[in-house]
Structure 1
Amino acid sequence: MSSRVLVAEDDPKQAEVIRLYLEDEGHTVAVVHDGLDALAQARAERPDLLVLDVMLPGMDGLDVCRALRTESDVLVLVLTARASEYDLLRGLDLGADDYLTKPYRPRELVARVRTLLRRGRSGPRTGPGAVLRAGDLVVDPTRHEVHVDGRPVECTHAEFALLEVFAAQPGRAFTRGRLLELTRGTDAYVTTRIIDVHVLNLRRKIERDPARPTRLVTVYGVGYKLTDAAG
């Protein structure tokens, strides 16, 4: 299915390569070369997905992501030359759904876009009206809402998909590989490291003390599970 993709990349040659590959995939692609134009175009055109370079003139890509997340749930794939854990956490915490570290292969980017769009279009896996509960944590797949102790929690698409899997079977321990398969399909370009990043971000949102989690806990030698305990 064709989607509208906005590419924000300051390197004209790289932007053209991305455009050609995505158009070959059947998408309608618009290209901008600075952050201010990216924000304006995203607001005006409301694309299905934004491919967003971090190092943009005019306005940093992360600032673009932060601004959009206050008003839109557009899927965001961040392109970054920064590979440190802090930078990855920062990008995902600001609302990016996925990241790709430069240099990358164009086909890898296309695979990430395909996975994000497929996940963004998929409906609730638990059936209409099925609200998931684990203690005082409530996940509503139909409304795409999360509440903890009555407090609304804002989650990215990726975080919500992960939390939905956990909440559907509280108490069950999932390996990172299984979580990757359930939330991202068979995308060979994604590593289990992204599960750890999303879990860290979710803990910051649903735990009273993220350093000592009681809801989303580590099962050593296995992976993670969601408990019925309060955060």
Structure 2
Amino acid sequence: MAIEMKYVFAINFKSYETAYNNVALEIAKTANQLSSKYSNVRIILSVPSVMISKIINIYDDIYLQHIDPLDYGAYTGFLSVDSLKYLEVKGSLINHSEHKIIYRDIEKIVKKMKELNKESLVCADTPGEAAGIAYLNPSMIAVEPPELIGSGIPVSKAKPEVITESLKAVKSVSNIPVLAGAGITIPDDAIKAIELGSSGVLIASAVMKSKNPNKVIIDFVEKMNSV
């Protein structure tokens, strides 16, 4: 599924308490307001599946955090990729470092999501993994060194070569947007990632653990929109 080329600001709610309470709804309201105001930044909210029905009434550019490489069947506790046909989401994160899956399962999910006209944002730990994923032609790839996730140490400053090498590796295979993630804490971290060539950022704790998450989102989007 083709992605409209604008900068992407993706927020992974994870399973923080704020992913389930009124903070999540306020974040969705802020995302909706900013999306109407700023045309150069696409805001994606990656939410827990149990929150879809609440958030979709406020903001519609939402992803699942994970989907399982399963058809319909007797799979208690799993979320079948086929179920996306009935879920009001734009797509899903896949292969996050906190929920890794094997390559052939990534391939199955990406293929099925294309058939369902849904987007796939596949995470990679390294430039090498990003290159391998690029052959599957997902909608987007997010490169996140796991050791920096939640550290407050931005990949764009601590390991800029991870971004540049990933971009080079992916672009040698396909023209897929590449996001930078891990430790992205302030807007300048996102700007640095963009300057290095990324199409945006994937963040989590900088928003979800903030005392004022809506201000964080506004600051990021305003800064990214000005690039």
The TM-score range, normalised by the shorter chain, is 0.3 to 0.5
Which structure shows the higher strand fraction?
1
Higher relative contact order (CA 8 A, sep 6+): 2
TM-score normalised according to structure 1 size: 0.35
The structure that has the greater radius of gyration is 1
